[in-house]
Amino acid sequence: MPSPAPAEMRRPPATGRTLRAADVTHAVDGSPRLCGAECAACGTRIFPAAAICPSCNSEKMKPLSLSGHGVLYAFSTVHVAPAAWETPYTIGYVDLPEGVRVFGKVEGASALVPDAEVGVSIEPIDDPKGGSAPAFQYWFTPRGTR
């Protein structure tokens, strides 16, 4: 069993999941939004987007801009993680108004309850692969705290 990393070497897990530029769109007001996909054949909506519908295998997928808020479906606090990560941190599923359930990191664990309103936070980051491609991270925050 490997020994845990010393406290001074530990780092928090990523603020949120890393996204490609194609996974982010912008609302009319310029704010970033998650970009999923909707199947033109059967109406299935998904995030992240895919070229083929997971429901009917159609290749007729079109981009779908998702809301900047949702309802917390379920969450859990992680206490055991890779040695280099700080714990605890919270993850959860959020139901968006478009009918898509998204998984991600959730801030503000002490204020969380099922069915709580949460906002989607998206920020640009440096390309994790060291290139110049735009990249983003997202996470959820209880409404009224950010």
Classify residue 135: in a domain, yes or no. yes
Is 1 inside any structural domain? no
Q: Is residue 86 in some structural domain?
A: yes
More confident of the two residues 4 and 17: 17
8-51 pLDDT, tens digit each: 555 555 566 788 888 999 888 988 999 999 999 999 999 999 99
Q: Please, which pLDDT band fits residue 64 given cuts at 50, 70 and 90?
A: very high
Confidence tier at 3 by pLDDT (50, 70, 90): low
Among the listed residues 98, 100, 103, the one whose alpha carbon sits nearest the alpha carbon of residue 75? 103
**Would residue 96 count as lying in a domain?**
yes
Q: Would residue 138 count as lying in a domain? A: yes
- pLDDT the model gives residue 146: 46
Closest by CA position to 67, among listed 102, 106, 93, 110: 102
Q: For residue 113, give its domain range.
A: 7-142
Q: Is residue 2 part of a domain?
A: no
- For residue 74, being part of any structural domain is answered with yes
Q: Is residue 33 part of a domain?
A: yes
Count of the separate structural domains present in the chain: 1
